[in-house]
Amino acid sequence: MDLYEFQARRLLKAEGINLSDAALVKDLKGLEDISIELPVVVKAQVQVGGRGKAGGVKLVSAANRFKSTVKSILGKNIGGHLVESVLIVPARDIVQELYVSIGFDRSAHEYFIMASVDGGVDIEETAKLSPDAIKRHYFSAVDGLELDDVKTFCGSLLDECEFVQDLDKKQRSLIMKNFSTTVYNIWQTYRKYDATLVEVNPLAIVRAGDAALEIEALDAKVSLDDNSRFRQLELFEQLESETEFSSNHNALEKKAKNLDINYVHLGGEVGIIGNGAGLVMSTVDIVALSGETLEAKPANFLDVGGGANTAKMQQSIEIILADENVKSIFVNIFGGLTQCDLVAHGLLDATSDVEIPVVVRFDGNEKESGLKILQESNRSNIFTADNQEEGALLACKMAKEAV
Ligand code: GDP
Ligand code: MN
């Protein structure tokens, strides 16, 4: 089981590792309760590396940039992962970024500590271009790891760090001590929770307020062994309950699949229904484009497939509305084998209890009679559009008005 950063931080902190307090935020409203002082770092909570390079980690120093920065990261797609929450942490004054990870080498049947004084976002390149900059210490499950082993390893590592070498003796030994203790505590975390990987990058030397130096973990990655679930049951259940925001969507996607409906959650406010994958894809694009200035985004991809009948429409609308974020729906149907007049009847049946605005655009087979049926229904929340652009724009405007 891979943990989110906010969860990994909590486990490491509980083992005594120096980590700042952080606040998890799922929407802009959540920002109101935050008491962390600027400057802060806003961090996308997605289980994928390289967030910094992908624009998912941003420093905010000015109060008037705070909300807009959070807004720009929430809903972003980072390496195929939707950002559904961000972590707000106090920004630190970094003087040196170190890298530390602990894992298990299956071929050597041994644990290892891997560390470098060239940590940070370029660690992968460092590993490729100058592999010598990354040091390893192997140890067996039988021998375990003693604090003294860690001290020796960390000492030889920091000997290669110019910044540390230039410090006065007192500061240098303090950094040495804090660094070794941190690495040792990373191992304690690894063991206690049956991890398969714990990585801290950067583990940073930071300048504290009074010019003193400290070692602080600024990022954390933890994977737990699924085979240890029975030993860590309470922890697993707690971690899972905290990330229900993502598993809800997985459940919806599964439900849709069982009904032969192709649904993908995207995270915005404008629900989308169409027939045919190509048409739905372009509808998602048009909504994204129309909504750009209004800051309305597509909530989902949903392809009803060939038979856009009443039952299918009803199921589709149910799935879309199970996402609380949805504030309007745009239905974009091309009548081929499916006749628009039949879709119109199905749609009216399926939306009899729906309160949010539904914008409909028909084209193709029986377009005119389909539109007429909708218009004559006099349903106050059903709107028709002449073309896709008009429909998408209307749906975006209505989604925003509803907020
Ligand atoms: P990752 O790219 O997914 O590994 O995300 P990280 O949490 O490691 O952040 C990426 C980079 O952002 C770090 O390597 C730092 O250079 C920078 N960063 C993160 N937190 C801070 C901070 O508090 N202060 C400063 N100055 N930079 C930070
Ligand atoms: Mn990192």
Taking residue 170's Cβ as centre, other Cβ atoms within 10 Å add up to 8
Regions in the chain scoring below 70 on pLDDT:
244-247, 307, 402-403
Give Cα separations from 58 to 43, 47, 63 (angstroms).
7, 17, 14
For 17-30, give the DSSP string: ------EEESSGGG
Question: Of the residues 196, 228, 260, which one is the last residue of a structural domain?
Answer: 228
**Residue span of the structural domain in which 36 resides:** 21-90
106 and 131 belong to one structural domain:
yes
Closest Cα to atom 9 of ligand 1:
52
Distance, in Å, from the CA atom of 345 to the CA atom of 309, rounded to the nearest integer, reads 9
Q: Is residue 238 part of a domain?
A: no
Which residues are within 5 Å of ligand 2 (an ion), measured at CB?
A: 201, 219
The answer to whether the predicted template modeling score (pTM) of the entire model surpasses 0.85 is: no
Question: What pLDDT was estimated at residue 253?
Answer: 84
Which residues are catalytically annotated?
Answer: 99, 199
**Among the atoms of ligand 1, which is closest to the Cα of residue 201?**
8
Question: What pLDDT was estimated at residue 211?
Answer: 77
Q: Is residue 16 part of a domain?
A: no
Question: Of the residues 63, 90, 117, which one is the last residue of a structural domain?
Answer: 90
**Among the atoms of ligand 1, which is closest to the Cα of residue 90?**
23
Q: Is residue 242 part of a domain?
A: no
115 and 222 belong to one structural domain:
yes
Q: Which amino acid is it at 109?
A: H
Which residues contact ligand 1 via a Cβ below 6 A?
41, 43, 49-52, 57, 91-92, 94, 97, 120-121, 201-202, 218-219
CATH number at residue 79: 3.30.1490.20
Overall residue count recorded for the chain in this entry? 403
Question: What pLDDT was estimated at residue 306?
Answer: 73
Q: Is residue 221 part of a domain?
A: yes
Which tens digit of pLDDT belongs to each residue from 196-241?
A: 999 999 999 999 878 799 999 999 999 999 889 989 999 999 998 8
Cis peptide before 90 (omega within 30 of 0): no
Q: From the CA of 95, how far away is ligand 1's center (Å)?
A: 12
Residue carrying structure tokens 């560390």: 115
Burial class (CB in 10 A: 0-12, 13-18, 19+), 275: buried
Query: Of the candidates 265, 243, 240, 241, which has an alpha carbon nearest to the alpha carbon of residue 82?
Result: 265
Q: From the CA of 360, how far away is ligand 2's center (Å)?
A: 45
310 and 371 belong to one structural domain:
yes
160 and 301 belong to one structural domain:
no
Collapsing DSSP states into helix, strand and coil, what is residue 75?
coil
Question: What pLDDT was estimated at residue 251?
Answer: 79
Question: Of the residues 90, 115, 133, which one is the last residue of a structural domain?
Answer: 90
Distance, in Å, from the CA atom of 262 to the CA atom of 301, rounded to the nearest integer, reads 8
Collapsing DSSP states into helix, strand and coil, what is residue 259?
coil
258 and 378 belong to one structural domain:
yes
Q: How many domains does the chain have?
A: 3
**Among the atoms of ligand 1, which is closest to the Cα of residue 94?**
26
Q: Is residue 4 part of a domain?
A: no
224 and 157 belong to one structural domain:
yes
Angle at 329 between CA 326 and CA 331, to 5 degrees: 150
CATH number at residue 305: 3.40.50.261
